[in-house]
A = this chain, B = another copy of it.
């Protein structure tokens, strides 16, 4: 299997969604599904599903379809849900705490190993079962625990500097929630910028368009 290699990002971005839908199907006790049935559930074309899955290998069987449980396992494995990338979160404000509590890192190949904040008043406070450390301790922590992923929930002014520092300390991937477009020029570093504000603005745009259509 896994004739992996250069998969387009369009495909990659659909994989977690397949994974979720297959999880639901499995939970409902459904054993097999055809690309056509799945396409109706997910509101995309059967062709696209078959095309996407075939980037990684022939997971289906002619005349039968796909075995839900094993397809889900395959996709999970491709995504890396069976990994345990040590992960740190920087910035334990409203958003940082919420991300720490709300996201199940464990089911997504990550292990949340440490939380840091520059505010000494937060030091020692716990989020879930994890104590907040002061940011001064990041360096030592990285040398001991070798985290690979950093979640950034910090003000935009500090983001680039902190990220550069973290790269030196061995961080390979950033999940960036600050209102700043993080770019790292070193290669071998991955960045996922989440811009919640941008997401809301596109909804505002579409809401506004609804009103205009009415007027015609």
Contacts and interface: CB of A to CB of B under 8 A. Distances in A.
Interface of A: 4, 12-13, 15-17, 19-21, 42-43, 78-81, 83, 85, 93-95, 97-99, 101-105, 108-110, 148-149, 172-173, 175, 179, 181, 183, 188, 190, 192, 194-208, 210, 212-213
Given A192-B199, A200-B108, A94 B98 contact: yes
> Which label, helix, strand, loop or mixed, suits the secondary structure of the A interface?
helix
B95 A201 contact: no
Contacts of A194: 196, 199
Nearest to A196: B103
Contact of A95 (B98, B181, B213): B98
12 contacts: A12-B202, A12-B205, A19-B201, A20-B198, A79-B201, A79-B204, A80-B207, A104-B197, A149-B207, A173-B207, A190-B207, A192-B200
